[in-house]
Amino acid sequence: MQIEGYVQALRDDLARVAALGDESTARAADLLAVALESALGRRLQEALGEAALELSSQLDSGRVEVRIAGGDPELVYVPDDQGATAAEAVSEDFTARITLRLPESLKARLEAAATREGVSVNTWLVHVLHHAAEHRTQSGGSRRRLTGYGRS
């Protein structure tokens, strides 16, 4: 079911409950449904992200990712291209801490990226840092840079 389908089901449930009351109750239910719409979608994505992480931790190789295309979420198995999996990196105990000061605009972009992936910012950063460290290790720590302009 698409996320929009869950939102519509919530609206329908609220409308049925509101039908027991008067017109102001129905109006309150409509306003509540609108207010909950984005929160419900985000919570469903978070739940799918946690499910993907749990499934990934149970796999010997590869990982499970949440992909959303056209509003339709999918759990997709991604085979492992490298020796160490991202799931192995995530399954380690999170005991090390680091304090990182970021510009507010960058923090907002990181949060948006993590939300798109359906995981917490911490989990998203661990995945990105793990991948960057693996890539740097495999490429020999090369400092080659590509500069220029791109157009989309």
| C-alpha closest to that of 56 among 35, 71, 77, 28 | 77
Check residue 84 and give its pLDDT: 46
- 94-139 pLDDT, tens per residue? 677 788 888 889 988 988 888 888 888 888 888 888 888 876 655 5
Check residue 95 and give its pLDDT: 72
Cα of first residue to Cα of last residue in the chain, in angstroms, is: 32
How far is Cα 102 from Cα 130, in angstroms, rounded to an integer? 19
Query: Does residue 78 sit in helix, strand or coil?
Result: strand
Check residue 83 and give its pLDDT: 40
| Vertex 98: Cα angle to 96 and 101 (nearest 5) | 165
Q: What is the mean pLDDT of residues 39-48?
A: 80
Check residue 151 and give its pLDDT: 59
Which tokens in the block code for residue 137? 């290790």
How far is Cα 53 from Cα 48, in angstroms, rounded to an integer? 9
Instruction: Kindly state the helix (H) or strand (E) to which residue 134 belongs, with its residue range.
Output: helix 121-138
Tell me the pLDDT of the chain averaged across its residues: 77
Lowest mean pLDDT among 37-46, 76-85, 91-100: 76-85
Share of the chain above pLDDT 70, in %: 75
Q: What is the mean pLDDT of residues 69-96?
A: 65
